[in-house]
Amino acid sequence: MILDTGDTAFVLICSALVLMMTPALAFFYGGLVTRRNVLNTMVSSFAIMGVASVLWVLVGYSLSFGGNLGGILGDLRWFGLGGVGTTPNADYAGTIPHLLFAAFQMMFAVITPALITGAIAERMRFSALLLFVAAWSLLVYYPLAHMVWGTGGFLRGLGTLDFAGGNVVHISSGVSGLVAALLLGRRNGAYGEETHKPHNLPFVLLGAGLLWFGWFGFNAGSALAANGIAVQAFVTTNTAAAGAMLSWMLTERLFNGKATALGAATGAVVGLVAVTPAAGFVPVWAALVIGLVVSPLCWVMIVKVKGSLHYDDALDAFGCHGIGGIWGGIATGLFATNLVNPAVVDQGLFFGGTKLIFAQLAAIGITVVLAGGMTFGILKLISLFLPLRVSADDENVGLDASQHAESAYPSFEGLD
């Protein structure tokens, strides 16, 4: 294979954009919590940049993309990225360095477990979180990445389509977040005397804007070349985000009387989530449909279902990423077409095909079971050796002080 310098430059830039999404997520999540927990919430994402990157270099890339063990996992042929050089690899990226493909995929492995932290914010012990992230990466993320994207992967063999991580990133993290939130229990005061309102909405808007910007690298970069598919993914990404933002604000206006800044930010994010598996496979008009539909679905889950069931998915990781990812996977089965991307073997239901929608539903079901079951098992195992949750006193003081001996806003001491 011949290395293409234009493709290489493009994917290098996209890799940097995807990495930026993790600190962007830190701002998004950090603004949503109370002042006494903002540093803990933000450093949870930052610390995962270290844990996930080191694990990826040591074993993650090889287990995800090296060889094939029963369609479930790779092997350790590329342990420590040994043998992963600067020449292209025909199986995954024929015009960019193999090492660059590994680096681009690493950024996905970084942000995915960071998404989970939104569900268990303001109450999980920091050391337990880092242990969980390491185990979850090994037992959930790497197998899913191999099954969906790896050569010989089981779900890939079923014909499922996941352009940039609907199953691998969003459904897996959303479902895992829900299970973790249920196991940890509700925060002190949740659905009681304390409202847990966002402490810094400008942080939320900043985080959402940077996520939107970085998502162009996430989705367009998944074409792995500076070509027409990358352009298609770029435009569908922006269209879905814009449509979902408007749809969320309209939903708020109809049911609550006012559109909010928080709603605009959340709507944009769920639109980005929903279009991720479909971005390089669907027409632009379909991306608009995906965005317009996802916001009411997520709004109902967050405002109505979560409110009535009283589970404490603190920052709505499941309501946004789980539900948004599931809808995106289904929508891919509806609207994917080889008129957009020749890699689509089976047409979506809207274009007369029937096989793809069933492959998508099967992949969603398998992802839910794997992520949910493994998350439950990992957390139960860790709890045998280390408490998962901080003490009630530490929670009341705030995790910034109890876990890190720091304060984001010293002048505000005593006001939370």
Rounded-to-integer distance, Cα 407 and Cα 416, Å: 12
Q: Summarize the confidence of residues 72-100 as an average pLDDT.
A: 96
**pLDDT band (50, 70, 90) for residue 196:** confident
Q: Give me the pLDDT at residue 415, please.
A: 52
pLDDT tens figures, 139-195: 999 999 999 999 999 999 999 999 999 999 999 999 999 999 999 999 998 765 456
Task: State the chain's mean pLDDT as an integer.
Answer: 96
Confidence bin at 93 (pLDDT 50/70/90): confident
Structural domain spans, the chain: 5-412
Encoding tokens for residue 321? 């990423």
Read off the tokens for 407.
């304060």
Note the pLDDT of residue 410.
Answer: 81
Question: Tell me: the pLDDT tens digits for 224-241?
Answer: 999 999 999 999 999 999
CA distance 103 to 89: 13
* Helix H or strand E encompassing 323: helix 323-335
> What's the rounded Cα separation, in Å, for the pair 276 and 287?
10
- The whole-number pLDDT of residue 150 equals 97
Predicted TM-score (pTM) of this structure: 0.96
pLDDT per residue as tens digits for the range 274-298: 999 999 999 999 999 999 999 999 9
Q: Which CATH class is domain 5-412?
A: mainly alpha
268: closest CA among 244, 251, 285? Answer: 244
The per-residue pLDDT for range 54-67, each reduced to its tens digit, is 999 999 999 999 99
Res 385: pLDDT: 97
